[in-house]
Amino acid sequence: DIQLTQSPSFLSASVGDRVTVTCRASQGISTSLAWYQHKPGKAPEVLIYGASILQSGVPSRFSGIRSGTQFTLTISGLQPEDFATYYCQHVNSYLVTFGGGTKVDIK
Partner 1 sequence: EVQLVESGGDLVQPGGSLRLSCAASGFNFSSYWMSWVRQVSGKGLEWVANIHQDGSEKYYVDSVKGRFTISRDNAKNSLYLQMNSLRVEDTAVYYCARRLGNCSGGYCYNWFDPWGQGSLVTVSS
* Nearer of residues 13 and 46 to partner 1, judged by Cβ: 46
- Closer to partner 1 by CB, 11 or 91: give it: 91
Nearer to partner 1, 36 or 62 (CB): 36
Please state, in angstroms and rounded to a whole number, the distance separating the CA atoms of residues 33 and 30.
Answer: 8
Positive or negative: CA dihedral 3, 55, 57, 79: positive
Residues at the interface with partner 1 (CB under 8 A): 30-34, 36, 38, 42-46, 49-51, 55, 85, 87, 89, 91-92, 94-101
Whole-number Å distance between alpha carbons of 21 and 26: 17
